């Protein structure tokens, strides 16, 4: 005889319990889902920096995408690493929130196209009190030049860096290089003695660094947090930090970060993903701010030849995609349509009218027109082969964008197959042609480090350059780009680059989609943050302080 | 009429051929465990090798020259054949040298140390929940008719809900809306860490705990339905005594096996919880290292997970032998 199970009050209780649990779960989950097409942010609503801070604060808790992999400035190329390093270390030249370049640790003079002389200021000191000298500057720059370092590309055209006076460092070039000046905000100065002693440990949690910036590295517990404290003896009163301590966390999971921000446990974060925007718009403890950024999301033709070797198909793709919808719906309003590979935010401040005129022509040529797209496809030799669209796995926005593209290309008669790749493979495919076999077009996110179109154009449209996937080799184009890089005159350079743009855009190797905004979340008890992408080139956290 | 066969000589022969006794049984189990760990380490190493992607691409960035990449690969020994690389790693590992992480450029042991502490605390808290609440509910569900259906429904829900959903709900309700617990992180210091890890431990214990509850309830029900139990009840022996002496003691073996397996799997399951709660434990470290193909870190962390699993299951095997008189005799 076994114990019999009677359907009793217990059974019914179980049913109610189950229903209660289900309702619980639904109620908890529904708080996070946002609506589609939240009101788009007009470019006039973009803000480069918030209203200035009113007073000091004791602690600011800031989130990074992930733990910095290193604080060695020569290798600090990721968002988290770069953000922290720029708050700790000073560059020779700096930018403000609107990318206006100005002297910082040094002033410079272009003595002749192949020689730039930096004059180092005499009142800057490192955290340990020792002065910043020309030796430290020359040492730091020479260190960047080692080919092992990620940022060594900045010095590609430099022949030598030498101390040529008490406060003077001279950089000699193999070929003239105006981009070098615009890359300077990324090049920071380390103390020579400390760096030599630290050896391979420099920039690791155990080794630390010695710099001269508005914050000092207080503590880095690997895996837990990274803390920086205000340098009370900072040589530049204009950038004295408001926050006494900034504690960095690295909650990588989007949902977890949103919840932490909404609960006020983290004060702020840059690079809020488009997917998190709807939930954060509803947060009551803080606000989202959208700022201008040089970042963009594009389609890159991945190989010469193949299905997309046909120019008419590429032209069709340019007009088949509704960039406005993509910006509003897929990017939740945190982006704007863009019609050239070089985004409007990248134009030099003094050349905007010239670039705008050229841009407007492209915006007209590439305006959304599915009917035109259909006829272009009909005229082309398209035989129905599936176009392989490669995306990086694990990113919700990429996935949705790819689906929209697939749908809209289908509407003009092009068949697309979406294929996702793990991040490591996808990043390798970014520079290794063998990994791109089998891909026809890649959905990529791009950003410039320097506020200078030559950087992106050089990497993308010169023969043999890393992002030139279609083996584009136009001698006239090459000459324009190389000449532009060697021209220090701003007007002349703009002319050359606009001409170059007309050539490479006509080849349709890049189908620009949207220019993404820098999206920042900040708790209402704070203000002052730099909210344009210039934050990445500045000690942005020095500006964050009390709102009242 | 058959003559009884004298089995004594047979027994003596067998004893001479096969080592007998509990000691020998335990020894063979341990050797088997070591072999498992060794094999697992090789499989993990080989699998990572086969995964697509070149670790150097993340280390040097997109603007590096081909020479720089080749030099880096040579420096990290990435071009050596698989067996050579595995051998180097194994010989170093056996001497306690686990190498330097590719991405962090720091010693693997330094990276793992603090993170392991966090994960172990999380796992320990979840283990307590599973053992106390999981088994407790299981016993309740097995013994009481009234509660049986409720426990069954709760178990079903627990098994069905994925860990990350449980995590999200817990944070949403208890951290954001009620504010009783922090939303992320592992805290500083023991008391603070325990407070931070309450919700993660809950999320982690939901799935495994439900499994333990279900098995416990089934085992208890089965034991409670056995003849000797029914007979004892019929003879008027107090319920509590029956429960303790007959039902629970006999159900202990399957319950212990189920709990042991659940606990063994906790370290691996901690991965999802760590990601969802922004806890930097070895699970989160493993996720990041796998996507960057950081061999030294991946192999070391995987090894820890495998060793924990093997140790726990070995302890269960040994405990079974010691607890069950039938197995003791067979040994």
Higher pLDDT, A1 or B66: B66
Tokens coding B90: 């194994």
Which of residues A200, A231, A253 is at a domain's end? Answer: A200
* Same structural domain, A14 and A133: no
In a domain, A84, yes or no: no
Tokens coding A512: 């620009």
Partner-chain contact B147 A10, CB within 8 Å: yes
* Same structural domain, A506 and A369: yes
* Same structural domain, A20 and A124: no
Partner-chain contact A256 B276, CB within 8 Å: yes
Partner-chain contact A15 B153, CB within 8 Å: yes
Most A CBs within 10 A among B149, B165, B203, hence the mutation to make, goes to B149
Pairing of the two strands A225-230 and A243-249: antiparallel
* Same structural domain, A484 and A340: yes
Partner-chain contact A427 B185, CB within 8 Å: no
Question: Is residue B318's pLDDT more than 90?
Answer: no
Question: Measuring CA to CA, how many Å separate A265 from each of A60, A256, A259, A518?
Answer: 10, 11, 9, 22
Of B62, B72, B225, which has the smallest distance from its Cβ to A2's Cβ?
A: B225
Of B57, B165, B169, which has the smallest distance from its Cβ to A427's Cβ?
A: B57
Segment A135-158, tens digit of pLDDT: 999 999 999 999 888 899 999 999
In a domain, A80, yes or no: no
CB distance A453 to A347 below 8 Å: yes
Most A CBs within 10 A among B60, B74, B104, B172, hence the mutation to make, goes to B172
Angle, vertex CA A399, rays to CA A393 and CA A405, nearest 5: 135
* Same structural domain, A460 and A335: yes
pLDDT of residue A301: 97
In a domain, A147, yes or no: yes
B217: how many CB neighbours lie within 10 A of its CB?
Answer: 25
Question: Is residue B214's pLDDT more than 50?
Answer: yes
- Rounded Cα distance between B215 and B221, Å, is 10
Partner-chain contact A25 B145, CB within 8 Å: no
CB distance B305 to B120 below 8 Å: no
Question: Measuring CA to CA, how many Å separate B141 from each of A389, B134, B160, B260?
Answer: 53, 10, 18, 20
Reduced to 3 states (helix: H, G, I; strand: E, B; else coil), residue A259 is: helix
Compare all CA atoms of chain B with the CA of A68 and give the residue at the minimum distance. B104
Partner-chain contact A222 B104, CB within 8 Å: yes
Q: Provide mean pLDDT across the span B247-269.
A: 85
Residues of chain A under the 50 pLDDT cut = 1-11, 27-37
In a domain, A226, yes or no: no
Which residues of chain B neighbour A223 with C-beta distances below 8 Å? 111, 114-115, 118, 280-281, 284-285
- Rounded Cα distance between B197 and B195, Å, is 5
* Same structural domain, A502 and A409: yes
User: What ipTM, to 2 d.p.?
Assistant: 0.78
* Same structural domain, A190 and A298: no
How far does B39 lie from chain A, in Å, by closest CA? Answer: 27
CB distance A509 to A311 below 8 Å: no
β-sheet bridge partners, residue A422: none
Which residues of chain B neighbour A467 with C-beta distances below 8 Å? 62
Share of chain B above pLDDT 90, in %: 33
Which residues of chain A neighbour B152 with C-beta distances below 8 Å? 14
In a domain, A417, yes or no: yes
pLDDT of residue A15: 56
Which of residues A200, A230, A249 is at a domain's end? Answer: A200
Which residues of chain B neighbour A82 with C-beta distances below 8 Å? none
* Same structural domain, A308 and A191: no
Q: Go through A58-83 and write b for each residue having 16 or more CB atoms within 10 A of its CB, e for each that does not.
A: eebbbbbbebbbbbbbbbbbbbbbbb
pLDDT of residue A239: 95
Q: Provide mean pLDDT across the span B99-116.
A: 87
Partner-chain contact B52 A432, CB within 8 Å: no
Segment B164-181, tens digit of pLDDT: 899 989 998 999 889 899
In a domain, A494, yes or no: yes
pLDDT of residue A1: 37
Q: Provide mean pLDDT across the span B10-17.
A: 57
Place of tokens 């690295």: A250
Looking at the structure of chain A, the number of domains it has is 2
* Same structural domain, A20 and A103: no
Partner-chain contact B173 A10, CB within 8 Å: no
CA-based nearest residue to A255, from A29, A516, A522, A37? A29
β-sheet bridge partners, residue A532: none
- Rounded Cα distance between B169 and B267, Å, is 22
Partner-chain contact B169 A29, CB within 8 Å: yes
Which CATH number goes with the domain that contains A141? Answer: 3.90.76.10
Domain that holds residue A113: 90-200
* Maximum CA extent, chain B: 93
* Same structural domain, A463 and A344: yes
* Same structural domain, A13 and A133: no
Question: Is residue B284's pLDDT more than 60?
Answer: yes
Which CATH number goes with the domain that contains A414? Answer: 3.10.105.10
CA-based nearest residue to A186, from A76, A49, A67, A342? A76
Q: Provide mean pLDDT across the span B98-122.
A: 88
pLDDT of residue A5: 39
Partner-chain contact A25 B169, CB within 8 Å: yes
- Rounded Cα distance between B104 and A230, Å, is 26
Which of residues A200, A231, A250 is at a domain's end? Answer: A200
* Same structural domain, A319 and A421: yes
Q: At what angle do helices A490-506 and A475-485 cross, to 10 degrees?
A: 150
- Rounded Cα distance between A280 and A63, Å, is 15
In a domain, A432, yes or no: yes
pLDDT of residue B10: 61
CB distance B155 to B214 below 8 Å: yes
In a domain, A287, yes or no: no
Of A252, A262, A424, which has the smallest distance from its Cβ to B293's Cβ?
A: A424
Question: Measuring CA to CA, how many Å separate A23 from each of A18, A29, A150, A310?
Answer: 9, 10, 51, 54
Residue A60: its H or E element: strand A57-63
Size of interface A-B (CB pairs under 8 A): 179
């Amino acid at each position: 005889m076994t114990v019999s199970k009677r359907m009793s009050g217990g059974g019914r209780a179980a049913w109610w319990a189950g229903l209660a649990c289900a309702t619980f779960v639904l109620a908890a989950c529904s708080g996070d889902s946002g609506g589609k097409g939240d009101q788009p942010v007009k470019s006039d609503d973009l803000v480069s920096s918030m209203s200035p801070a009113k007073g000091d604060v004791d602690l600011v808790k800031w989130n990074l995408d992930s733990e910095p992999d290193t604080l060695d400035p020569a290798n600090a190329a990721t968002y988290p690493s770069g953000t922290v390093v720029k708050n700790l270390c000073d560059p020779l030249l700096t930018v403000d929130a609107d990318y206006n370049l100005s002297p910082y640790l040094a002033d410079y003079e272009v003595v002749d196209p192949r020689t730039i002389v930096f004059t180092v200021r005499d009142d800057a000191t490192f955290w340990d009190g020792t002065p910043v000298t020309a030796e430290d500057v020359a040492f730091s720059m020479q260190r960047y030049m080692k080919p092992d370092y990620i940022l060594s590309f900045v010095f590609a055209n430099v022949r030598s860096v030498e101390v040529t006076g008490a406060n003077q460092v001279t950089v000699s070039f193999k070929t003239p290089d105006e981009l070098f000046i615009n890359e300077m905000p990324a090049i920071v100065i380390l103390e020579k003695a400390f760096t030599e002693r630290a050896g391979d440990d420099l920039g690791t949690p155990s080794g630390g660094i010695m710099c001269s910036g508005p914050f000092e590295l207080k503590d880095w517990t690997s895996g837990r947090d990274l803390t920086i404290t205000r340098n009370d003896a900072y040589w530049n009163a204009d950038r004295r930090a408001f926050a006494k301590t900034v504690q960095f966390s690295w909650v990588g999971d989007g949902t977890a970060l949103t919840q932490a921000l909404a609960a006020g446990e983290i004060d702020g974060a840059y690079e809020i993903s488009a997917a998190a925007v709807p939930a954060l718009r509803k947060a009551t403890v803080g606000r989202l701010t959208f700022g201008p950024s040089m970042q963009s999301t594009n389609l890159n033709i991945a190989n010469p030849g193949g299905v997309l070797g046909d120019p008419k198909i590429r032209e069709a793709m340019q007009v088949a995609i509704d960039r406005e919808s993509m910006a509003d719906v897929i990017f939740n309003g945190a982006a704007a349509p863009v019609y050239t590979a070089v985004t409007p935010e990248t134009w030099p401040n003094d050349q905007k009218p010239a670039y705008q005129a050229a841009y407007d022509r492209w915006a007209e040529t590439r305006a959304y027109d599915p009917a035109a797209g259909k006829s272009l496809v009909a005229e082309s030799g398209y035989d129905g082969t599936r176009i392989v669209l490669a995306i990086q796995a694990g990113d919700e926005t990429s996935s949705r964008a790819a689906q929209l593209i697939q749908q809209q290309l289908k509407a003009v008669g092009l068949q697309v197959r979406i294929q996702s790749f793990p991040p490591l493979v996808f990043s390798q495919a970014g520079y290794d042609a063998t990994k791109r076999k089998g891909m026809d077009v890649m959905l990529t996110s791009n950003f410039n480090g320097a506020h200078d179109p030559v950087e992106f154009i050089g990497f993308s449209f010169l023969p043999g350059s890393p992002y030139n996937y279609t083996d584009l080799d136009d001698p006239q184009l090459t000459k324009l780009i190389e000449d532009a890089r060697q021209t220090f005159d701003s007007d002349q350079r703009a002319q050359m680059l606009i001409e170059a743009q007309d050539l490479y855009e006509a080849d349709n190797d890049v189908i620009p989609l949207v220019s993404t905004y820098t999206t920042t979340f900040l708790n209402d008890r704070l203000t002052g943050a730099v909210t344009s992408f210039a934050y990445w080139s500045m000690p942005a956290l020095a500006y964050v302080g009390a709102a009242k | 009429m058959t003559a009884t066969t004298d089995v004594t000589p047979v027994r003596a022969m067998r004893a001479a051929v096969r080592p007998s006794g509990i000691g020998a049984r335990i020894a063979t189990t341990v050797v088997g465990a070591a072999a498992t760990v060794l094999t697992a380490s090789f499989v993990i190493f080989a699998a990572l090798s086969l995964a697509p992607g070149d670790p150097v691409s993340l280390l040097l960035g997109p603007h590096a020259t081909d020479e720089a990449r080749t030099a880096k690969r040579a420096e990290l020994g990435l071009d050596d054949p698989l067996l050579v690389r595995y051998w180097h790693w194994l010989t170093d590992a056996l001497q306690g040298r686990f190498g330097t992480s590719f991405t962090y450029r720091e010693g693997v042991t330094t990276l793992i140390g603090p993170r392991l502490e966090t994960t172990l605390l999380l796992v320990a808290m979840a283990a307590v929940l599973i053992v106390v609440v999981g088994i407790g509910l299981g016993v309740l569900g097995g013994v009481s008719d009234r509660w049986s259906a409720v426990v069954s429904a709760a178990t079903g829900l627990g098994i069905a809900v994925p860990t990350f959903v449980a995590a999200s709900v817990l944070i949403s309700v208890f951290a954001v809306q009620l504010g009783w617990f922090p939303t992320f992180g592992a805290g500083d210091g023991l008391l603070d860490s325990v407070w931070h890890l309450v919700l993660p431990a809950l999320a982690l214990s939901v799935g495994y705990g439900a499994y333990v509850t279900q098995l416990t309830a089934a085992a208890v029900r089965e034991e409670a339905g056995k003849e000797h139990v029914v007979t004892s009840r019929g003879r008027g022996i107090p319920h509590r005594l029956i429960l303790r002496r007959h039902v629970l003691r006999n159900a202990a073996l399957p319950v212990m096996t189920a709990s042991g397996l659940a606990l063994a799997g906790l370290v691996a399951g901690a991965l999802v919880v760590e990601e969802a709660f922004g806890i930097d434990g070895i699970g989160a470290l493993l996720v990041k290292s796998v996507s960057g193909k950081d061999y030294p870190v991946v192999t070391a962390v995987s090894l820890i997970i495998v060793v924990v699993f093997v140790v726990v299951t070995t302890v269960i095997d040994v405990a079974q032998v010691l607890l069950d008189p039938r197995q003791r005799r067979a040994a």
